[in-house]
Amino acid sequence: MTTPINKKQAITRGFFNKCPKCGVGKILHGYITPYKECSNCGQDFTALNSDDGPAWATILISGHLTMPIIFLMLDMGLDNMWIEISIPITFIIGLSALILPRAKGVFMAIMWIMRVNKPT
Protein backbone atom coordinates (compact mmCIF):
# COMPACT_ATOMS: atom_id res chain seq x y z
CA MET A 1 0.00 0.00 0.00
CA THR A 2 1.31 3.42 -0.85
CA THR A 3 0.19 6.30 1.30
CA PRO A 4 -0.56 9.53 -0.53
CA ILE A 5 1.70 12.48 0.21
CA ASN A 6 -1.23 14.34 1.73
CA LYS A 7 -3.00 12.41 4.51
CA LYS A 8 -5.77 15.01 4.61
CA GLN A 9 -6.56 14.14 0.98
CA ALA A 10 -6.96 10.44 1.86
CA ILE A 11 -9.29 11.27 4.78
CA THR A 12 -11.32 13.62 2.55
CA ARG A 13 -11.64 10.85 -0.02
CA GLY A 14 -12.90 8.49 2.69
CA PHE A 15 -15.44 11.09 3.81
CA PHE A 16 -16.82 11.23 0.27
CA ASN A 17 -16.92 7.39 -0.05
CA LYS A 18 -13.94 7.25 -2.40
CA CYS A 19 -10.92 4.99 -2.32
CA PRO A 20 -8.20 6.63 -0.17
CA LYS A 21 -5.54 5.48 -2.62
CA CYS A 22 -6.88 6.55 -6.03
CA GLY A 23 -9.92 8.69 -5.19
CA VAL A 24 -11.97 7.15 -8.00
CA GLY A 25 -13.48 3.86 -6.79
CA LYS A 26 -15.93 3.65 -3.90
CA ILE A 27 -15.23 2.04 -0.54
CA LEU A 28 -18.84 1.47 0.53
CA HIS A 29 -21.78 -0.03 -1.30
CA GLY A 30 -25.29 0.08 0.05
CA TYR A 31 -25.30 2.11 3.25
CA ILE A 32 -22.22 1.02 5.23
CA THR A 33 -21.09 -2.26 3.66
CA PRO A 34 -17.47 -2.01 2.47
CA TYR A 35 -16.36 -3.38 -0.87
CA LYS A 36 -13.67 -6.05 -0.78
CA GLU A 37 -11.46 -4.01 -3.11
CA CYS A 38 -11.42 -0.81 -5.12
CA SER A 39 -13.00 -1.18 -8.56
CA ASN A 40 -10.44 1.22 -10.05
CA CYS A 41 -7.02 0.49 -8.50
CA GLY A 42 -7.64 -2.90 -6.85
CA GLN A 43 -6.76 -1.70 -3.33
CA ASP A 44 -7.77 -4.39 -0.81
CA PHE A 45 -10.26 -3.14 1.81
CA THR A 46 -10.76 -6.42 3.72
CA ALA A 47 -8.25 -5.46 6.45
CA LEU A 48 -9.94 -2.09 7.06
CA ASN A 49 -12.43 -3.29 9.67
CA SER A 50 -13.62 -0.16 11.47
CA ASP A 51 -15.75 -2.03 14.07
CA ASP A 52 -17.57 0.36 16.43
CA GLY A 53 -15.52 3.49 15.70
CA PRO A 54 -17.96 5.07 13.21
CA ALA A 55 -20.95 4.39 15.48
CA TRP A 56 -19.11 5.96 18.42
CA ALA A 57 -18.20 9.05 16.37
CA THR A 58 -21.79 9.34 15.08
CA ILE A 59 -23.23 9.24 18.58
CA LEU A 60 -20.66 11.74 19.84
CA ILE A 61 -21.25 14.25 17.03
CA SER A 62 -25.04 13.95 16.83
CA GLY A 63 -25.38 14.18 20.62
CA HIS A 64 -23.32 17.36 20.78
CA LEU A 65 -25.24 18.94 17.90
CA THR A 66 -28.61 18.02 19.41
CA MET A 67 -28.06 19.42 22.90
CA PRO A 68 -28.34 23.11 21.85
CA ILE A 69 -31.71 22.33 20.26
CA ILE A 70 -32.90 20.66 23.47
CA PHE A 71 -31.70 23.61 25.56
CA LEU A 72 -33.43 26.04 23.20
CA MET A 73 -36.67 24.08 23.45
CA LEU A 74 -36.41 24.09 27.26
CA ASP A 75 -35.84 27.85 27.20
CA MET A 76 -38.94 28.33 25.05
CA GLY A 77 -41.04 26.65 27.75
CA LEU A 78 -43.05 24.36 25.50
CA ASP A 79 -45.83 22.53 27.31
CA ASN A 80 -46.27 19.76 24.75
CA MET A 81 -44.22 16.70 25.73
CA TRP A 82 -44.65 15.06 22.30
CA ILE A 83 -43.09 18.05 20.52
CA GLU A 84 -40.25 18.12 23.06
CA ILE A 85 -39.54 14.45 22.36
CA SER A 86 -40.24 14.17 18.62
CA ILE A 87 -38.11 17.10 17.39
CA PRO A 88 -34.82 15.97 18.99
CA ILE A 89 -35.41 12.31 18.09
CA THR A 90 -36.14 13.20 14.46
CA PHE A 91 -33.06 15.43 14.36
CA ILE A 92 -30.82 12.71 15.85
CA ILE A 93 -32.09 10.04 13.44
CA GLY A 94 -31.60 12.27 10.40
CA LEU A 95 -28.19 13.45 11.54
CA SER A 96 -27.07 9.91 12.31
CA ALA A 97 -28.17 8.76 8.86
CA LEU A 98 -25.97 11.46 7.33
CA ILE A 99 -22.94 11.01 9.58
CA LEU A 100 -22.57 7.20 9.87
CA PRO A 101 -21.46 6.32 6.31
CA ARG A 102 -19.11 9.33 6.21
CA ALA A 103 -17.62 8.38 9.57
CA LYS A 104 -17.10 4.81 8.33
CA GLY A 105 -15.28 6.13 5.25
CA VAL A 106 -13.08 8.38 7.39
CA PHE A 107 -12.22 5.54 9.79
CA MET A 108 -11.38 3.23 6.88
CA ALA A 109 -9.18 5.94 5.32
CA ILE A 110 -7.34 6.49 8.62
CA MET A 111 -6.77 2.76 8.95
CA TRP A 112 -5.47 2.69 5.37
CA ILE A 113 -3.07 5.57 6.16
CA MET A 114 -1.84 3.65 9.22
CA ARG A 115 -1.29 0.58 7.00
CA VAL A 116 -3.46 -1.72 9.09
CA ASN A 117 -2.91 -5.34 8.11
CA LYS A 118 -5.37 -8.21 8.24
CA PRO A 119 -5.04 -10.13 11.52
CA THR A 120 -3.65 -13.64 11.14
Give the domain ranges of the chain.
7-113
> What pLDDT shows up at residue 81?
85
Helix (H) or strand (E) holding 50: none
User: What are 72-84's pLDDT values in tens digits?
Assistant: 988 988 878 898 8
Residue 51 pLDDT class (50, 70, 90 cuts): confident
Give the single-character DSSP code of 38. Answer: -
- For the chain, the distance separating the N- and C-terminal CA atoms, rounded to the nearest angstrom, is 18
> What pLDDT shows up at residue 110?
93
Average pLDDT estimate for 27-41? 92
